[in-house]
Amino acid sequence: MPSTIVILGTGGTIAGTASDPSDNVGYTAAQRSVGDLLAAVPMLAGRPIEAEQVAQLDSKDMDHATWQRLAQRTAHHLSRADVAGVVVTHGTDTLEETAWLLHRVLAPSKPVVLTAAMRPATALSADGPQNLLDAVTVAQMRGARGVVTVVAGNVHGPADVRKVHPYRTDAFSSGDAGPLARVEEGHLRQHRDWPDGPAMGLGRLAVDPAEWPWVEVVTSHAGARGGGIDALVAAGVRGLVVACTGNGTVHHAVDAALQRATHAGVLVWRCTRCAGGVLVGDPALLSPAAAMSPWQARVEMMLGLMGEPPAGG
């Protein structure tokens, strides 16, 4: 039975350092290696674990090239007969976007567990070591599968996870759905099934990251103007995700600009800018992004556009 857990490091706050151990916000992210993070959790010593540094960045600066490399390395290790699962250490800022990308591209039958921290590794009460231990626990759990996020003892599915607080250690939520499971003193209490679904396939990311379709998120708000949307269309944007007010409403100036964008061949999806809930109404009129966050929708649209020629091309 496979038993090896591979930990792929990408940087983030979990690998960050500060000169003052009492400073939980004035730190520099992505300073410690994934090997250092592993060494800080004595309970993992002696277990069949491998560590690999895929990237070393602050996740606010996550880019398509790193996503491509991470997906490729994750798929490589999942294909090994001796590997039970993969853990990815990541920054919190774009964690939910990476989780959705890996879920949609790989939809793995083995567990891929993303974990992170809200405090740097040098903090007096760093949350990274416990989160890493919990992530490995989930990755080693018999029957576990799919892409999940483990932070603050909660296991979140890729469709539901959202960062909902800028500072607290319990900064992630699954909203109305609630977490898939909880890790309690090394034991898993499961509430819902593991994530599943068809995989788009790693080949979707094979193109040069510089050539990935350009998709932007735009918002509607009081006093909104359509000029920014017109400028994006003129610059060659392929798709627009609109973070709408309420249940999919947009300012009239934004609506007019979106109609012009659509006529120019730009794909337009709507979702809500509200932190919770989904768009409701006539299913025939709803966007494919109705139940997604704007950030997930951007990833979904970009993946969908890959391999399709630009309008008029």
- The residues annotated with a catalytic role in the active site are 13
How many CB atoms sit inside 10 A of residue 221's CB?
12
